[in-house]
Chains A and B, each alone.
Chain A
Amino acid sequence: MIKVSGLTKDYGARRAIHNLSFDAQQGEIVGFLGPNGAGKTTTMRILTGYMPPSDGEAIVAGYDVVEESLEVRKRVGYLPETVPLYQDMVVFDYLKFMGDLRHIPNVDSRVNEVLDMVGLLNRADGYIGNLSKGMKQRVGLAQALLHRPEVLILDEPTIGLDPGQVVEVRQLIRDIGRERTVLLSTHLLYEAQNLCDRVLIINKGKIVAEDTTENLQARLIGAERVIVRVRGEADELADTIKQVKGVRKVETQDDGAVEFEFASGKDLRPEVAKQVIKDGYDLLELRPLGMSLEDIFLELTGNEAKKK
């Protein structure tokens, strides 16, 4: 559905993306992870026909983004990062206008349908300028879904939403991702983790890693880190945990909790729990610590990032 090869974009002397190649299949949700200025938005703008690449080729929904830009734009739903909207328009009128531009039949009922999907039916008559940031975000999403696009490109779709809405929007994206192709950018690893089938990590205009989130984590750290917390004084908790075979890097935190690691693939948590209880502690918490995007970044970008 999306096939990108050798994509390069220069803004004057600055190279925003460099020789990018990836693809995304139908029914796949692909996450685009990267820090600000990595080239996520630039890539998305090229894929949506907003601007042409300096070099390379991108095929979206079977059409070339430069040669057959209009055909691509007909088949792509796009939520830009800045969520541009006509502030002085009524929500319903705005969506109807965008629907008319896409020649959607029975546009009124489709607009209501989409408004229902994003939970904004009760604000259909309100001015966009009066909506909260999260609501505007959902209007933008409704606009992207309006024409049932084959490919959905979402630039930071959950930013600015409150936690309840984030869950709803993620579910919506998941549902759409079953049949269509979704490319979304985010800088939240857990979002990529529970939403995306595959993740592309991009830094300074280049793809530095491409895999499923699980594999990426495992490959990068090769170990899982766990935190243990018990009731009351726990001065010797670290020693207790060290007795378990295979446990590494045991560290006591300031608040008395203890962190340790074990090689991934061999879960040592049951053994640790038994040992802790055997030594007479009241076990309160035994929780795996996920690796944050920052950590992955430090790993992937190596020395350069560590210097900062």
Chain B
Amino acid sequence: MRNIWTIAKREYDNYFNSPLAYVVALAILLPLGIYFALIMWVSAEQAFYGGGAPESTAITWLFVFLMVFLSPALTMRLLSDEARMGTLELMLTAPVRDFELVTGKWLGAMMFILSVALVTLIYPIIMNNFVSPGIDWKLVISSYIGLILVCSAMLALGVGISAIFTNQFAAFFVTLGLFFFLWFMIGLPANLLPTGGDVLNYLSLSTHFSQNMNNGSMTLGGIAYYLSLTALGLFTGTTAIEIRRWR
């Protein structure tokens, strides 16, 4: 456990050395800020005509949606670069288990995303001040737990794919392709199939978050789905590192 923390801490610090991480943070926070301003403005206009209060879940949804495209950039070099630079040899000859290395990398990325997510908590707080009698905090908690679970799954899969490649751009595009498929495409044929559509919907990266958690309903199936993907990603990474040893 201690090794996982040591590796995660280094990786977290390292994000603040890399321009890429700032770009990713900016690419999340800037659209979120603009979007927030817009929904506040539109609701204020509509409130005049008796429209509804602004939804805090719009922010978390956009965050997760942007992560589909941006999280591959955060994970692409985590292990591929170690292999390319040869520093993997350092890690693999240090008294660190392969899964500790992979999990440490994932935790470092998680900590970075959690820091960015923490900043976005300002939006529900601002919103709360403008809405009477205040916003539904249970909904906010549910959507942020959902956000953390989706990010956890995405970053774990990204780390797993990064362990397979030596080239970070290969890792980036494969991760992006996978997320694109899991988010947009896997659920598409669900309505066309006579049976089994539920399974496809269950496998979609977006369903559990967009339809349930971001609407205030934590489902066991959803939690299990994201945690399974996290485990799958970390397992893939560990296996890929072990295969590297044997080659």
A interface residues, Cβ below 8 angstroms from B: 11, 45, 48-52, 70, 73-74, 76, 78, 80, 82, 84-89, 93, 97-98, 100-103, 143
For B90, list chain A residues within 8 Å (CB).
80, 84-85, 98, 143
B interface residues, Cβ below 8 angstroms from A: 2-3, 6-7, 10, 13-14, 17-18, 85-90, 92-97, 245-247
B92 touches A50 (CB 8 A): yes
- What's the nearest-Cβ distance from chain A to residue B25, in Å? 18
Q: Say yes or no: A87-B85 contact (C-beta < 8 A), given A51-B245, A97-B6.
A: yes
Interchain CB contact (< 8 A) of B87 among A45, A78, A84, A101: A84
For A88, list chain B residues within 8 Å (CB).
14, 17-18
Given A86-B85, A88-B17, A101-B3, 4 more A-B residue pairs with CB atoms under 8 Å apart are A84-B88, A93-B13, A100-B2, A101-B6
For B17, list chain A residues within 8 Å (CB).
88
A101 touches B94 (CB 8 A): yes
With a 10 A CB-CB cut-off, give which of B17, B18, B89, B97 has the most chain A CB atoms: B89
Bound together, the chains give a CA A102 to CA B3 distance in angstroms of: 8
For A52, list chain B residues within 8 Å (CB).
245-246
- What's the nearest-Cβ distance from chain B to residue A49, in Å? 6
For A103, list chain B residues within 8 Å (CB).
2
B93 touches A78 (CB 8 A): yes
Bound together, the chains give a CA A73 to CA B94 distance in angstroms of: 6
Closest to A76 in B: B93
Q: Say yes or no: A49-B246 contact (C-beta < 8 A), given A88-B17, A97-B10.
A: no
Q: List 17 A-B contacts (CB under 8 A).
A: A11-B247, A49-B92, A50-B89, A50-B92, A52-B246, A70-B95, A70-B97, A73-B93, A73-B96, A74-B95, A82-B86, A84-B90, A87-B85, A101-B6, A101-B95, A103-B2, A143-B90
B95 touches A102 (CB 8 A): yes
Closest to A51 in B: B245
